[in-house]
Each structure stands twice: as structure tokens, then as C-alpha cells.
Amino acid sequence: MSVKVRFAPSPTGKLHVGNIRPALMNWLFAAQSGGVFMLRIDDTDLARSTVAFEQGIFDDMKWLGLTHGETAKQSERFDRYAAVSEDLKARGFLYPCYETAEELDRQRKIQRSQNKPPVYNRAALSLSDAERTALEAEGRKAHWRFKLSGGSVQWDDVIRGEQNIDTASLSDPILIRGDGSYLYTLPSVVDDADFGISHIIRGEDHVTNSAAQIEIFNAIGAKAPAMGHHPLLVGADGDKLSKRLGRLSIAGLRDEEGIEPQAILSLLAKIGTSDPVEIRRDLAQLIEEFSFEKIGRAPARFDLTELKTLNAKLLHETPFAEVKGRLADLQIDEVLWKAIRGNIETLADVAHWVNVVHGDIAPVIADEDVDYIAKAAALLPDGNLDENTWSNWTGVLKEKTGRKGRGLFLPLRLALTGQKHGPDVGGLLALMDRDRVIKRLNG
């Protein structure tokens, strides 16, 4: 089977890690199989969909490196959905219902009180033409439900294994609202059939939906794609991420947190799998290692702290050539990059250390260290500063002052960098201007 998969976000908000994880699975599977990855914009909700959110989807996917071979927009296919809908109505698969939301809620409460599953009772199927006319005269507008078979739907899930859903336990799904707009289900099935989607890979919250959708595929005369349902993301504490996804948007991780795309991809590709959660330098390695068999059944835990740690590790190993263009506004070369990269968490941190080396900072000199720093200034070796200056200088200071260890080195670090921690001071000192060093030592 030739592989063709799709990622189908709605342009009603920003992409977040909960979206990108299944998108990444689909993309890796297509790439590994030599297949096609389609980006489909599910914009049937015209009231909430915006051009800005749609552009954001394309921008985020490009930034992550998740390129697509084909695109489609559901808002351009309403005529096709209408034609399918009319055919399903004519053949009795779609039937009109007139209950209000309040009436349906009351029905479910009664069923629960009787220890019955809250499944739609199909009362609308017994309405006469006269009763339907009377309801419409009251101003009620029909919503349309798909009539499930009531039988068993089975499939071999590529992640969960054999699945068997009794559709008698499900409510007939609403496919068309009272205002004539489509819910997700019908346009998605029609598109998957028309575009030749071979596999649908998505969250396990869609398992029961998949059973209903398989029956809709059958009703329109199409073969249902293979299905795969992965566990959902949860927070580091095991709670649902749904209330926190706003701050975990791809745009937010990029623009506010300073996270690199490969750190995001590495984490999302590995959490919830049998592979260790480690940085992978490129997508090629993620493609090679991808397998549905590695995906566990437990929820995948997403931890922003873990993502930031991965981001730091990625930058610590990144060659200067890969970031040079993004640091063009800073006074930095490969030597300085190598000196500081082990002490940054995001690329935004680079500016601080460039300023420590080449800019003006406030030296930190404790009262008890004033005399020591003055002596250090007097004993600074003559000539240009280089890779030997630090060891020669501290060797003389140790001999002249009797200081050693923390008492010898920390006051110098504070005076030269203003920080208790950071890159090797000797490496930074070799890159500093002598006059700037003297100025800092003199307070």
C-alpha cells in the first residue's frame, strides 16, 4: 500500500504541542515509507477560522521542518460535502432531528437515572411528515444524524492492535447542524476518501469516532483508511494538558521561550515511546528510528522543564556555522561561541555573554576582596591577553597572596564577569580587551 497521511488542523487558534505530536507521527511515517504528507486546513467553522491563524499553521510547520507534499482547504469543498449529504439523505443514512440541546440533556439525565447509557433514542425516526412540519412551523431547524448500523465495527489498529466497537452503544452522530454547517466528521471522511488517505493517525480520544467514521466510509462507497490511535499528552504531573496548551503553542515556545525546533521534535518524537528521550540532531535520525511498535499505551508526559534541558543540550553541541546567521548582530566569532555555548539555555542568552566579553558590565567586588582585586590588577601579566594569561596570572596570585581554591578564583570571576557561575573564566579572559579588564578590576 502506498502511504498517504494528513495533518488537519483548524485555523481557529495557534498550533500547540498537542497538535504537533500527531502531526510529527504522520510526517515521520510518510517520510519513512516514501509516502505523501498532506496539510489539510479544516476551516469549515467560518465564524472562528481566520487568515492569521491559517498563516500561523503554515509558518509553524515550516519552522519545524515538517514540509508537506499536498494541501487542501475544506472551505473550498462545500459543494462536494453538500452532494454527499444529499445522497446520504436520499438513501436514509442521514435523518432529520429537532430536539433542542436542553431536551437532549434532559433525555440523557433520565437515561442515567435509569442506569442506561446516555445514547440518543432515535425518537426522530418515528416522526411523521405532519409532526416534522409542525416542528418546523415552531421555528425549529433540523440537525442531521447519521444512522449507525448497531453492529460491531472492527479494525486492526496500527498502534493499539485489534479494536472492536459496538455501534449500538453509540449515539448516532450529528453530521450537520441546524444552521446547515458541518461538524468535523462528514467533511473529514469525504476528504480522506477523495484524497486517497491510506492511514489516519491521531489521538486515542478518537477511537469511538473512528468506528462511526468507518461506517460513514462504507455508506459513501469508500474503503476506510488504516487507523492508528496513540495515547494523549499529559503534563509532568499526569494531569491533562488541555487547560495549559495556550502557553505551549509552537509560536510561544519559539518566540517567548526561545526553544529550537529540533528540541521540540526530539521530545515529542520520543516521549511515550520505548526510546530514550534524547536530542536527535536532525529529522533524518528521527525518521530512521520511528516505529509504531515503540509507542506505549500509557499517556505521554510532556514536561516544559525537560524540553528546556534538551534545548540547552542541543545548543551545547551546535556548531557555530549553524547559528552564525542568527547571531549576525552580535560581536561573536567561533572561538567565543565555543567558549560560551556550554552555558546557554537559549540562543537569546548569547547576547549576555557577548556583553560580558566586549561590553560594559558592573563588576562585583566584595568589601573583603577589595585589596585582593587591587593586587590582582597590579599583577596582571603585561601584553595582550591570551589562552595562557589566566593560568599564569592565578599562579602568581596564589604565590603572592596565599589564596587558593574558591577564595582565589571566585572574586576574580565576579570582578571580571559579574557572575558567580558561567563559562571558563580563562577562556573569556583571553578574548577580552586588556583595558576593559583593568577597568573592571579597578571597580
- Asked whether the predicted pLDDT for residue 243 surpasses 80, the reply is no
Residue 405 has pLDDT above 70, yes or no: yes
Judging by beta carbons within 10 Å of its beta carbon (0-12, 13-18, 19+), is residue 102 exposed, middle or buried?
A: exposed
Name the residue with cell 453538500: 82
Are 277 and 246 spatial neighbours (Cβ–Cβ below 8 Å)? no
Q: Are 370 and 363 in contact (CB under 8 A)?
A: no
Distance CA 292, CA 97 (A): 41
Residue count of the chain, please give it.
Answer: 443
pLDDT above 80: residue 363: yes
For 367-441, give the CATH class. mainly alpha
> Do 267 and 307 touch, CB atoms closer than 8 A?
yes
Q: What does the pLDDT read at residue 223?
A: 97
In this predicted structure, the answer to whether residue 67 has a pLDDT above a threshold of 80 is yes
Please say whether the beta carbons of 373 and 411 come within 8 A.
yes
> Structural domain boundaries of the chain?
1-72+231-317, 80-176, 320-358, 367-441
Q: Which of 128-132, 243-247, 258-262, 331-335 has the lowest mean pLDDT?
A: 243-247
Contact 80, 194 (CB under 8 A): yes
Q: What is the pLDDT of residue 246?
A: 67
Q: What are phi and psi of 2, to 5 degrees?
A: -75, 140
| HSE-CB for 261 with a 13 A CA cutoff | 13
CA atoms within a 13 Å half-sphere pointing along the CA-CB vector of 83: 5
415 pLDDT above the threshold of 70: yes
For residue range 124-156, list pLDDT tens digits in order: 999 999 999 999 999 999 999 999 999 999 999
Query: Whole-model pTM?
Result: 0.93
Residue 255 has pLDDT above 60, yes or no: yes
Rounded to whole angstroms, the Cα distance separating 196 from 123 reads 36
Q: What is the mean pLDDT of the chain?
A: 96
Task: Assign domain 80-176 to its CATH superfamily.
Answer: Glutamyl-tRNA Synthetase; Domain 3 (3.90.800.10)
Query: What fold does the segment set 1-72+231-317 form as a domain?
Result: Rossmann fold (3.40.50)
